[in-house]
Structure 1
């Protein structure tokens, strides 16, 4: 059973991190200050080591310097930051003490056990990627009604397709830990994944190739990133990636892709077995 007391006082680190992530979308000039405060708090609570913090700072500095460079030097900086981001996502950098909040819990009687950490390393990639490609938070563009219909149909069909494969089953539930799931999934998972796949990979591919190739390749990569769930999970994740990719491309707002991604994940938790059927 998860209790609010389990988050105190260490949860202050993730409260500050959540504020920092939100500032990117609402007060972009504030995030360096808030991130510095988050880092200092994490260091004081031993949630990050001096070595890990140094590696984080190095990645951010390289990303920032890339804005002043061109050609081969700029490409090298991008390559370094992407490797840095991958290491953070895969928890390969030592010195992070992520907070375990759910340990083999069940969302319902037909669901498999679910474990969740409040990660400190993975969300940090958002800031490095934003420094690499500030345009990922570009202004919104108008979306046509046919495009909205396509997005709505794709969104509605995904749960049915997942159900038809047997990886999930209908199961209405409202776990006591839903609120912490909402915070973690929205701000620390969906924002990081959308920044990486749509804000960076898709946008860069579209700039160099075509929208069709960029969105398709990014969707496939997003699906493959969910390989642990099996072939059907990969297929559904690929189609979900297509939904998020089209949302970002047609609206021009990363926040909209994040919102659709999070809504899909939340409905998965509330209306179906989570993360999969047993």
Structure 2
């Protein structure tokens, strides 16, 4: 059973973290100060160890210094930051005491149980990747009507494609913890994943290959990291990655890719079995 008291006072850490993530898109100059406050709160509530905080700082410093380097040194820095990001995403760095919000909860009677954490490690990759490639938040283009139509049609079609495979079934639900899901999924999950797969991987591949190859490759990688759900889940996740990739490429706005990603996940939760059908 979910209780609001379970989020307090430790939830202050993630409230500060959420503010830090939002500031990246709204007030970029203040995110370092907000991230510092988040670190202080996390240390105070024993949600991060000094060693884990040191690992985070090292990754951020290397990412920042990479902007001044060229050639092999820059490549090494990029490699280090991506390795650092992967370790954070996979929860391989000890010293992070992530907050368990839901333990084997059900969104509906026909859904499988799932657990939800407010992670402190995974969201850190956003700040490292933005320092590594600041342009991921600055590049903008104008989406055309045909492009918008494709994005809209793919967004509408994807839930029905997932339904047709049998991995989900229609089920309307509004759990008491929906608001926590919204904050967690939007600001901590979707922002981190879009920064990695679209802002970094897709953009780097497009620069070295072609737009088509870059978008497809990033979408395939995004699908593969959902291997725990099985081959059909990988297929749907790959198509979802294509939707997010096209959104980012055609608009040039990482925020738009994040919003589309989150909207798809919210539709999944509210109108279908989540995360899968039992």
- Normalization by structure 2: what TM-score? 0.99
Distance 2:31 2:209 in 1: 32
Distance 1:49 1:231 in 2: 37
1:233 alignment partner in structure 2? 233
Cα deviation, residue 139, structure 1? 4.0
Task: Note the alpha carbon deviations across 1:135-192, whole angstroms, 9 max, x for none.
Answer: 0002432111100111011111101110000000000000000000000000000000
Distance 1:79 1:141 in 2: 29
Higher mean displacement: 136-145 or 228-237: 136-145
Task: Note the alpha carbon deviations across 1:106-148, whole angstroms, 9 max, x for none.
Answer: 0000000010000000000000000000000024321111001
Q: Hey, which bits of structure 1, 4+ residues long, moved more than 4 A?
A: none
Distance 2:140 2:208 in 1: 21
1:37 alignment partner in structure 2? 37
Count of equivalent residues? 278
Distance 1:275 1:88 in 2: 23
1:89-108 equivalence runs, <5 A = 89-108=89-108
Distance 1:260 1:125 in 2: 20
1:126 alignment partner in structure 2? 126
1:82 alignment partner in structure 2? 82
Unaligned runs of at least 5 residues, structure 1: none
1:1-278 equivalence runs, <5 A = 1-278=1-278
Unaligned runs of at least 5 residues, structure 2: none
**3-state DSSP of counterpart to 1:190:** helix
Cα deviation, residue 3, structure 1? 1.2
Distance 1:114 1:73 in 2: 43
**3-state DSSP of counterpart to 1:107:** coil
**3-state DSSP of counterpart to 2:275:** coil
